[in-house]
Amino acid sequence: MKKRLVAAMMLSVGLLIAGCGNQGAATSDSSNKSKDSSTNSNQPVKIVAVGSTALQPLVDAAKDQFISENPNYTISVQGGGSGTGLSQVSDGAVTIGNSDVFAEEKSGVDASKLVDHRVAVVGMGPVVNKEVGVKNISKQELIDIFTGKIKNWKELGGKDQEIAVINRPSGSGTRATFEKWGLDGATAVQSQEQDSSGTVRQIVAQTPGAISYLAFSYMDDSTLALSIDDVKPTEENVADNSWKIWSYEHMYTKGQPDDDVKAFLDFMLTDDVQEGVVKELGYLPITSMKVERDVSGSITKK
């Protein structure tokens, strides 16, 4: 009888331990499953990114790669300019606001409610019709062209041809960056305005005497990129700030992003993207920069 009682007690203890062990395993499995679901959920995820046309090609290319690995995502990338992106994400109308400028630089936007995710650096510079006969100008000459003081390319040693300035809309981050760092804050003359970088490139290529400005990612052989004070618009010169017309590419969210959105933003900073499409499309990886620049323009070496 005593032996049976001991055996029964041992069996009960064994069952209790086994039950606790299984409960712990179940809790651990549940925890792991919950953790995994935050980044690998099969639930549909919709992201809308709106804003900078300079950043648009990069986000477009990256989202295609991301969706191929995460088919439950639907990601829409639209232009409209940095101002549009910042105002819409601030209003909660879109998931991500793409911008070439800091949110603090845009009036009417409460930057304190937005979280900045820098995903690349983009250089920008003046481009001209290939037949103007000029390849290098001084910074003051650049300012004089865009403020209307210099009106003919012959004044710069080029063809006897009237200069046709093609500008960007007031909400354009590319325009804000160009006027701040290329024109020392001067406002360009009233002229034809185009929002789309692709359209600007096409107009400059087809219009005799035309000049405008583009992100490096839009520059190609159809136009001529001007040097300024004998400094060429190259990625190497942007990296050490020898070429000063550049900006960070920001992807802003309203508050901290949820796990699904964060997964896409984190993907933008992976080596696959930074060393892949970032370079392929003419942007600079964040890690390539030898300097940092804050919203006030202060430069510090990295």
Residue 41: band (very low, low, confident or very high) from pLDDT cuts 50, 70, 90:
low
Residue 33: band (very low, low, confident or very high) from pLDDT cuts 50, 70, 90:
very low
CA–CA separation, 284 vs 235, rounded Å?
7
Q: Which helix (H) or strand (E) holds 126?
A: strand 118-128
Which pLDDT score is estimated for 24? 38
Whether the per-residue pLDDT at 38 is higher than 90: the answer is no
The pair phi, psi for residue 86, each rounded to 5°, is -70, -40
Which pLDDT score is estimated for 19? 43
Which pLDDT score is estimated for 172? 85
Summarize the confidence of residues 278-295 as an average pLDDT. Answer: 94
- Closest by alpha carbon to 211, among 267, 265, 146? 146
Percentages (nearest 5) of helix, strand, coil residues in the chain = 45, 25, 35
What residue ranges define each of the domains in the chain, with the CATH number in brackets?
A: 45-121+246-301 (3.40.190.10), 123-240 (3.40.190.10)
Whether the per-residue pLDDT at 63 is higher than 80: the answer is yes
pLDDT (tens digit, 9 = 90+) per residue, 139-149?
Answer: 999 999 999 99
Residue 302: band (very low, low, confident or very high) from pLDDT cuts 50, 70, 90:
confident
User: What are the residues whose beta carbons fall under 8 Å from the beta carbon of 173, sequence distance 6 or more?
Assistant: 51, 52, 54, 81, 82, 83, 99, 100, 101, 247
Q: Which helix (H) or strand (E) holds 250?
A: strand 246-254
pLDDT (tens digit, 9 = 90+) per residue, 190-232?
Answer: 999 998 889 999 999 999 999 999 989 899 999 999 999 999 9
Which pLDDT score is estimated for 99? 95
Q: Which helix (H) or strand (E) holds 56?
A: helix 56-69
CA–CA separation, 128 vs 65, rounded Å?
34
CA–CA separation, 129 vs 127, rounded Å?
7
